[in-house]
Amino acid sequence: MKVVIIKYNAGNVQSVMYALERIGASYELSDDAEVIRSAERIIFPGVGEASTAMKSLRESGLDKIIPKLKQPFLGTCVGMQLLCESSEENNTECLGVFDIPILKFPRVKGFKVPQTGWNNIVSPESEWTNPLCKGLRASEYVYYNHGYYAPLCDYTVAKTDYILEYSAMLQRDNFFAAQFHSEISGDVGEQIFKNFLEI
């Protein structure tokens, strides 16, 4: 199977590479449009700041290519946020795959922003129904580091509570996304990657 990790200015690619190696998956790191289009699975990681990341995608032309892709696609952390319509982080226009905004966490006494560390994910329904969550328990812990969030919406397939309930995972058609760092979320993250490669 041809797995491509998208190379751009905000990709935390090294830890994603290690995660794929741990589950025995081969991959290619590329920012080449034809290589990305020909992939069977695409992973879109991200750390950093939204407007800088979008500038990188626009300069390479990937901002026009990504929303049109038809194969299974997984965005993580900032990669998930960039798939949304916009971000309050420096008022950034994003890729628009998910027609929802990314919002800044409100300041609430007793809560640190960004949220950094482990928190749980749960299904918005009585049980997991999304293929990306196959084999997960009712509540699992994953690793977060973010100051912005996606609100609950029709695309929500997992949610987390920190200051408020928000979308931990999204899906629209072939596009899947996770706010947390799957690549450093231990066994849970590995299971999510395995599920993604089997979709």
Q: Which residues are catalytic?
A: 77, 181, 183
DSSP output for the chain: --EEEEPSTT--HHHHHHHHHHTT---EEE--HHHHHT-SEEEE---S-HHHHHHHHHHHTHHHHGGG--S-EEEETHHHHHTEEEETTTTEE---SEEEEEEEPPP-TT--SSEEEEEEEE-SSSS--SGGGTT--SEEEEEEEESEEBPP-TTEEEEEEESEEEEEEEEETTEEEESS-GGGSHHHHHHHHHHHHH-
Two tokens at 81?
A: 């946020």
Task: Compute the distance between CA of residue 162 and CA of residue 51 in angstroms, rounded to an integer.
Answer: 24
